[in-house]
Every structure is written in structure tokens, then in C-alpha cells.
Amino acid sequence: MRGEERRHTVDRMSFTDIPTEQTTAVTDAVLALIALGAIALLRRHRHSDPRRVRLWSWVLGILAFAAGLGTVAHGIEMSESTRELLWRPLFLALGLVVALFAAAAIHDWKGQHMARRMLPLLVSLGVVFFLVTQAVSGSFLVFVLYEAVAMLFALGVYLRLAAGRRLAGAGVVAAAIVLNIVAAAIQATESVQFTLGVPFDHNGVFHLVQMVAVVVLTVGLVRGLVRVRAPSARVH
């Protein structure tokens, strides 16, 4: 009986036929590829600042992992119980992305020693966020609030660095954070949608803005890595 149920479940799994879910899955997949491409680009400059490149690579790598899970969750027809299992590691990954983003901001602001001291606390907060999403209904709203606090902190850091000309590319990174905040706002409102050949709902638009944010972020980070040896490029 269990074997028959298993075969029946496999037979029912297929690509979704809901247009907005299709575009959401595709944009998630493209976001994952962009994040992986950003890692490859950063690693070309790893000798300039290995620890900074490693930390930001973790941010982008976990983001790519979460986007990959989102591709499957949105693009494949499956039982609700199976989908719920996918959301768990996805929310954990998102929590860690935000935590590591904050750690990377601290690294760029106060240096690697402070970032290293804060990292366990920030990762613990990411895990706590994940546990809260498992206990509270409307868990994505919890994520939006958690992300908003971290992103506003990071935005303040990079605006300060840009104003003091303490880190090359800091202003561009700040612009990327603003785009990420806009993306989160779009996701939270659930009212943004448009058709551009194919229909996009708030999830798809969220991913589109995130793609631009990752590209802008990468440009800002590379600028800092290229100029890291300049005497005025990094002052903590």
C-alpha cells in the first residue's frame, strides 16, 4: 500500500500550470543564477580582501540556495505537506542571509574582529527568527519585519561610510539595500502585479527587484575590492 501511495504521489508531481507561479519560479531560478554569478565575480578579487569576499560569498550563496528552493516550491505541483517541508529550510536560509548581511555590514564598518565577535549572536538571531516562523501564522510578515530592521541598520552603516568616504562603493551598496527594502515592501503588500508578455504577481515582481539589487550590490562590493589597497579606501 505504501509503495502504491508513493508512486501516486510521484505521478501527481508536475510543473505548475498557474501562470503567476510559473513566472515566480523562473524569476527565482534567475535570481539564484545571478547570485552565483556574483560570487564568481567577487572571488576574482578575493586576494584584495579574502575575509570580506568569503563573508559576502556566504550571503550570496545562501541566497542562491533559498532561491533554488523557491523555484521548486513555486514551480512544481506537490502536496501541501511536501511544500511545507520545503518552506522550512527556505525560511532558515532567509534568516541566515539577513544575519550574515548584517555581519558583512559590521565587517565593512568596524572591521573583521568586531564582525567575528558579533557573528555568533547574529546567526543565533537568524535561527530564532526561523523558530518564530514555525510557531507564528503569517510567517512571511515576520520575515519582512526581521529583514526591515537588519536592512535599515545596514543602510545606516553604508550611508555613513559613503558620507565619510571611508569605503569605495559604499554608496552603491546603500542603493542596493534601498532596492532590497523596496522589494520587501512589494512582497508584503501583495497588490503589485503586471503583465509583460506573461503575468507577474507580487512574488515575481519581488524577485525582479531583487535581481537588480544583487547586481547593484555586486558592483558596489567590487568597487571596494578594486580600491581596497588605496590608503583612504578602508578606515575603521
Residue among 227, 225, 182, 229 at smallest CA distance from 206: 182
Render pLDDT for 67-87 as a digit per residue (tens, 0 to 9).
Answer: 999 999 999 988 888 888 888
Q: What does the alpha-carbon distance between residue 96 and residue 102 come to, in Å, rounded to a whole number?
A: 10
Render pLDDT for 150-187 as a digit per residue (tens, 0 to 9).
Answer: 999 999 999 999 999 999 999 999 999 999 999 988 88
Q: What does the alpha-carbon distance between residue 142 and residue 98 come to, in Å, rounded to a whole number?
A: 13
**Among residues of the chain, what percentage have pLDDT more than 90?**
67
Render pLDDT for 103-139 as a digit per residue (tens, 0 to 9).
Answer: 999 999 999 999 999 999 999 999 988 888 788 765 6
